[in-house]
Structure 1
Amino acid sequence: MTLIRKIAASQDGTVTLTQANAAGLTVHEVHRLCRSGRWRRLARAGYLVDADRYAEIPRRVRIRAAVASFGRSAAAVLDTAAELHGIAGTRRTEAIHVSLPGPAVRPSRDTDPAVIIHQLTIGAAQLCDVAGIPVTRPVRTVADIIVRADRFTAVSVLDSAVNRQVVTAEEFAMIPGLIRGRRGAVAARGYLAECDGRAQSPLETRLRLRCVDGRVAPDVLQHEVRDRDGCLLGVGDLAWLAARLIGEADGREVHGTPEAVYQDRWRQNRIVNAGWRILRFTWDDTMRPDYIPFVVRNALAASPLPR
C-alpha cells in the first residue's frame, strides 16, 4: 500500500484501477477495500484512497475523477476550468463541465450526475494541466466563457483573469481571434473593452459596471488615500477624486469576519479623518440596477466634508 499512497498523494488522494493493478492489487482486493469503506469508488475505474478520512469528497477530487473517467481525450472546460485556474466571476455550482472530441457521448451509470458534457473543438496547444487534470488554458477558458455569459459575469471573469495574472497582456490580445465567428462574439468584444484588471473581486466589477451604467463612473480604481505627510491610510476600491468620495465593495468572504469588521472600521476612521467620505455596497446592492447610481449621485451632489 505504500506505493499506492505515493501515487495517490500526487493525484489528490485518488488512483485508477490500472494504477492499483500495476502496484500489485487485484480487482478483488480493490473491491474489498471499497466494501470496507477504506476506499471509495468515484467514477469508472477511479477510486479515493483512505476515503474514511474524508467527511465529504473534496471538489477537486470529484473534478479529477469525472475528467479521468472519460479517458485521455477529455478535459475540464468553461466554469470548471476557470475554477481550477483560480479565475473568479462565474457562479459556483456542483456542475462539472467536461469536453470530449468527436460524436456525443452518453454518460454511463457511473458518471457523476453533476457532469455536463460538451463537444468543443480544442487544439492541443490550447490545453494544459492543473495538478495533472487536463484543462483548457486560461485564455481559452476565458474566451469560451465570455461568448456564453451575461455581461456582468463575462466582465467579472475577464477582470479576475487579468488581475490574478493568469492571462497576460499578450494572451488578452489573442481573445478576439479565439472568439471570431462564434455565437456571442459581438457582445463579447464589448465585454473585452470593459475589462479593468485593477478590480480585485467580482463584486468590485459589478459595482463599477452599475456606476458606469448610471453615468457616475469612478475616476479611478484602487485609489491610495494618504495623509498630508504622504502616509498611506488605505486603498479605496473606487474613487471620485474631486468629491473626495470612496466606494467600497463589502464582500462577505473578505469583510464578513469580526476581525475584518474591526479592521474596516479602523481604516475607515483614518480615511474619514483625512477628509474623505465612504460609501459601502454589498452584492445584494448590485442586484438593484438603480440603487448604486442613485446613492453615488446624491453623494457627489452633496458638499464634501471639510478637510
Structure 2
Amino acid sequence: MDRAGLVRSIAAAQDDLITRAQALAAGFSRHDIDHLVAVGRWRPLARAVYLTDGSRGEPPPRRCRIRAAVLSLGPGAHVVFGTAAELLGIAGLPRRDEIHVALPGRAAKLARVSDPAIVLHQLEHQPGTVVQVSGIAASEPRLTVAEIILREHRYAAVSVLDSALNRGLLTAECLATVPALIRGRRGAVAARRYLAEADGRAQSPLETRTRLRCVDGRVPPDALQLEVRDDDGYLLGVGDLGWRGPRLIAEADGRDAHGTPEAAYADRRRQNLLVNAGWTILRFTWQDTLHPAYIPHTVRQAIAALRAR
C-alpha cells in the first residue's frame, strides 16, 4: 500500500482524522503535511491533528472533535465527565461545547492545548477504569457517573443516574458500590442523596425531572411506567407516572419521543383508550419543569377533583 492509501486507511478508522505523527510514520514529510493544510485538503482540528476531508465546508461532527482532542493529547488521554457520558449514551446533562479530557500527573502538566473548547484535567484513573467507545478512550460508566454526581446539581445528577440505569450501563448492584468510590470527596454528602433517588424506570431526563418536581411538591407518584389493562388483560397503554388511587397518569412529552406525526397519532389513540378506561391524563413538557410549583400544583388539583366526584 502506498503512503496515501495508508493514510486513508488510518483516517477511515478514526473519523477521517490523522495525526502528524501518523502521517510522518506513513511516509509523508513535514513539508507534505504543511502543503496539504495550506491548500485546504487537510484541516487542523486540534494540535497536530488534521481532518483529511478538508474540502467539506461544514463543521465537523461532535464525535470527530472529541476524537481529535484525545488524539492531540497522546497516550493516556481519555474523555471524562459530561464528555464521557455523551459518548457512552448517558443522558441528563445540558448540552455544552466543552470537551473534557484527562491525563495523569506529569503528562497533564506538560500537555499543550490549542482548542479553547478542550478542558484538560489532571486525573489519575486506575487501570480498568478506562474503556474504548467507538475507538475513543473514555472513563467507564460507573466512574463517569460517580464523578458527574459529585459536580452537578440534583436534577441533572439524578437524571444521569436514571439514564445509566435505564440503558443498562449500570446495575443496581454496581450503583451500590458508588458511595465507597466517592467517600471523603467534595460533594459526596449530596451525591449520596442523589443515589437514593435514582430510578432506572425513567426513560428520559424529562421523566426524571417531572418525578422530582412531584416529589418536591409532596405529590410523589406511586408508580412509574404504569401498565393499564382492560378486564381481559389487554394492554391499553403505559403511563410515565401514575397515581393508582385516583386513576391519574402524567405523561412527560419530550420533543424526541413525541415530535413526529406518527408519535403524536399514537399518543392520541393511546390517550383515548386510557380515558375511556376511566383514567385522567396530564401532559407536561420540559418548560413545565422549569417552574417548581406548576407540576405538583396541577397534579394536586387533578387528584382533588377526581376524589370529589
Q: TM-score interval w.r.t. the shorter chain?
A: over 0.9
The residue aligned with 1:281 is 284
Paired-residue identity, %? 61
Of 23, 31, 34, 2:26 maps to 23
Q: Is 1:195 the equivalent of 2:225?
A: no
Q: Superposition pairs for residues 1-307 of structure 1, below 5 Å?
A: 1-53=4-56, 55-102=58-105, 105=109, 108=112, 111-303=114-306
The answer for unaligned runs of 5 or more in structure 2 is none
* 2-structure distance, mates of 1:153, 1:80: 14
Q: Any idea what SS the aligned residue of 1:31 has?
A: helix
CA distance in 1, matches of 2:71, 2:124: 19
Q: Do the aligned partners of 1:277 and 1:304 also contact (CA within 8 Å) in 2?
A: no
| TM-score, length-scaled by structure 1 | 0.94
Change (3 A) 1:305 1:227: farther
Q: How far off its partner does 1:133 sit?
A: 1.5
* TM-align CA RMSD: 1.8
* TM-score, with structure 2 as normaliser: 0.93
Superposed CA deviations along residues 130-173 of structure 1, whole A, max 9, x for unmatched, are 12212111100000000111111110000000000111233212
Aligned to 1:229, what secondary structure does the other structure show?
coil
Post-superposition offset of 1:304: 6.5
Aligned residues: 305
Q: Output the CA distance in 1 between the equivalents of 2:274 and 2:230.
A: 8
Query: Quick one: distance in 2 between partners of 1:138 and 1:287?
Result: 28
What SS does the corresponding residue of 1:135 show, helix, strand or coil?
A: strand
CA contact (8 A) 2:19 2:72 kept: no
Q: 1:266 to 1:54 in 2, by over 3 A?
A: farther
In structure 1, the gaps of 5 or more residues are none
Distance in 2 of aligned mates of 1:66 and 1:96: 7
1:51–1:279 CA distance, 2 compared to 1 (3 A): same
The residue type paired with residue 256 of structure 1 is G
Which residue identity is paired with 1:270? L
The answer as to whether partners of 1:277 and 1:305 remain within 8 angstroms in 2 is: no
How far did 1:94 drift? 0.4
